């Protein structure tokens, strides 16, 4: 679990995926409005056509000022594109939770449509 006492230290950190693939730099961190723990990172991905994408921090680890997540670089790169300027509304969050739990935004087999998204359900606050 990532530290919630110093969210700003996560912003700017390098995000690594499975097989130690460098995914990108963390541009923003969204925190749970109820207890302040980090729930989502906004990461800039791509080399030529750069875009921002959300990555869940539920199972992320922090080591040597880097953050690692249990997702491949390709999976993060192909996540649903959601405007990162205003945080996440519950519908957008559910779409991302489905994507990261199944690997595809359209393949929802095995996903419980009534399940709440991790411990991060509810309104999110943005930290930069």
Q: Is the pTM of this model over 0.95?
A: no
pLDDT for 6 equals 75
User: Whats the size of the chain, residue-wise?
Assistant: 128
Q: Along the chain (128 residues), what's the average pLDDT of each consecutive run of 10 residues?
A: 78 93 93 89 81 92 92 94 82 95 52 34 47
Tokens in use for 75? 């999976």
pLDDT for 106 equals 42
Asked if the 7-127 domain carries CATH number 3.90.50.10, the reply is: yes
Classified as helix, coil or strand, 7 is helix
pLDDT for 110 equals 37
User: What are the residue boundaries of the structural domains of the chain, listed by start?
Assistant: 7-127
pLDDT for 21 equals 93
pLDDT for 113 equals 34
pLDDT for 33 equals 86
- CA–CA dist 18, 33 (Å, integer): 29
Classified as helix, coil or strand, 55 is strand
Which of 87, 99, 101, 38 has its CA nearest to residue 67? Answer: 38
pLDDT for 103 equals 62
Angle at 30 between CA 76 and CA 70, to 5 degrees: 35
């Amino acid at each position: 679990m990532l530290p919630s006492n110093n969210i700003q230290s996560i912003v700017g950190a390098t995000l690594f995926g499975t097989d130690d693939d460098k995914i990108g730099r963390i541009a923003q961190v969204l925190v749970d409005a109820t207890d302040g723990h980090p729930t989502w990172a906004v990461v800039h991905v791509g080399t030529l056509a750069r875009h921002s994408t959300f990555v869940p921090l539920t199972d992320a680890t922090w080591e040597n000022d880097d953050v690692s997540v249990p997702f491949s670089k390709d999976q993060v790169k192909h996540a649903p594109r959601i405007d990162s300027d205003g945080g996440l509304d519950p519908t957008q969050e559910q779409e991302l939770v489905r994507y990261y739990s199944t690997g595809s935004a359209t393949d929802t087999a095995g996903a419980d449509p009534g399940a709440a998204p991790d411990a991060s359900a509810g309104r999110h606050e943005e930290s930069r």
